[in-house]
Amino acid sequence: MLSKNRLKLIRKLYQKKFRQENNLFVAEGEKVVYELLDSGWKVYEIYTTNPLQNIPHTLVDRSELKKISNLTSVTTIIGVFHLPKYQFSYVNNGFSIALDSIGDPGNLGTIIRLCDWFGIQNLFCSPNTVDCFNPKVVQSTMGSISRVQCHYVDLFTLIDKCQTEVYATTLDGNSVYKESFPTDGLLLMGSESHGINDELLAKIKNRITIPAHSRNRGAESLNVATATAILLSEIFRSRVY
């Protein structure tokens, strides 16, 4: 049974301001909730239509769950978790990604999932990038949010303190297919509509581009998540096996 107060709290958590005030966020659906539980994330409360073994939970009926769901599809479980406290260092081993002003929750979620696939543990985001605990982001990570840490930092400071090569993705850089990437590095991706902030870009020497195929008859750009997929595949292709 869901109290009115609890219903009110959960609905509020769909807004960043209230997530930060309450230090909580919501995850929906079996895949994401179970991966967070398996990874040992601190639970506030679990609401489910099916009894769970060994996990404290509140049984609710479908209509109650629907009231607190942010998805259009039917879900059987919703978890409220405590926000994690991440420690991070500006000095990183391996390749990291930094995102400048990514607004679309689906794109951020997909990029988090890509980081997880390629074993990237830290994702740096400009403060105006969509919150990684936005319910749509959490959902589209398909559980990868439990393994990838998003750090909201000033990207100027990040680039100043970064001790590895920094690569900016632009429309007029060197072909990614001709580049040899080092083991350690930072790849900066800009928003689809505005690209990378000009002043930030001015600080970066290495600029790379995904060249269009010669048969391309008018496509001007790629979605930022698919561009990130191609770049990560190129960076890691010689190291995958």
- Site residues for a copy of itself per CB under 8 A: 35, 94, 106, 110, 113-114, 116-120, 140, 142-144, 146-147, 175, 177-178, 210-219, 221-223, 225-230, 233-234, 236-237, 239-241
The amino acid that residue 133 corresponds to is F
HEC sequence for 135-174: HHHHHHCCCHHHCCEEEECCHHHHHHHCCCEEEEEEEEEE
Question: Cβ closer to a copy of itself: 83 or 210?
Answer: 210
Question: Cβ closer to a copy of itself: 12 or 136?
Answer: 136
Question: Cβ closer to a copy of itself: 128 or 157?
Answer: 128
Q: Minimum CB separation from a copy of itself for residue 144, in Å? A: 6
The amino acid that residue 128 corresponds to is N
Question: Cβ closer to a copy of itself: 3 or 72?
Answer: 72
Tokens of 57: 């939970």
Q: Minimum CB separation from a copy of itself for residue 29, in Å? A: 12
Contact between 1 and 62 (Cβ < 8 Å): no
Q: Minimum CB separation from a copy of itself for residue 236, in Å? A: 5
Contact between 204 and 225 (Cβ < 8 Å): no
Q: Minimum CB separation from a copy of itself for residue 12, in Å? A: 20
CA-wise closest residue to 115 among 134, 83, 92, 85? 92
Sequential DSSP letters for 191-213: BTTTBS-HHHHTT--EEEE-PPP
CA-wise closest residue to 223 among 106, 98, 113, 95? 106
Cα 74 to chain centroid, rounded? 23
Question: Cβ closer to a copy of itself: 22 or 149?
Answer: 149
Q: Minimum CB separation from a copy of itself for residue 211, in Å? A: 5
Tokens of 62: 């479908």
Q: Minimum CB separation from a copy of itself for residue 145, in Å? A: 11
Question: Cβ closer to a copy of itself: 23 or 183?
Answer: 183
